Amino acid sequence: MQAFVNSHEWIWSVLQIIHYVGMSLIVGIIGTLDLRILGLFKSIPIAALRPLVPWAVAGFFGNLLTGIVFVTGKDSGPSYYTDNLSFRLKMLFLVLAFVNLLIFQLSDLEQRTYATPAGANAPTAAKAVSAVSLVAWVLVIFFGRTMQYNDTLLLFLGM
Partner 1 sequence: MLDYLEHLALADWVRSSPSVFAYSTVLCAHGVGLGMVVGVNTVIALRLLGVAPDIPLAGLRRLYGIVWIGFSINLVSGLLLFIAEAHTMAAMVAFWGKLLFVAAGMGIAELLKRSYFADLASVRAGVVTRVGRNLAIISLGCWYLALIAGRLTAYPDMVNGWLHLSGGST
CA torsion angle for 131, 105, 57, 22 (degrees, to 10)?
20
CB contact at 8 A, 85 and 111: no
Phi-psi region of 59 (alpha: psi -120 to 50; beta: other; left: phi over 0): alpha
Handedness of CA 137, 104, 35, 24 (dihedral sign): positive
**In the range 1-40, which residues lie near partner 1 by CB under 8 A?**
9-10, 13, 16-17, 20-21, 23-29, 31-32, 35, 40
Binding mask 56-95 for partner 1 (x = CB under 8 A): ----------------------------------------
**Closer residue to partner 1 in complex, CB, 96/135:** 135
- Using a 10 angstrom Cβ sphere, with 0-12 exposed, 13-18 middle and 19 or more buried, the burial of residue 43 is exposed
Q: Least distance from C-beta 14 to partner 1, angstroms?
A: 9
Instruction: Provide the binding-site residues for partner 1, judged by CB under 8 A.
Output: 9-10, 13, 16-17, 20-21, 23-29, 31-32, 35, 40-41, 43-45, 47-52, 55, 118, 138, 141-142, 144-146, 149, 151-153, 155-156
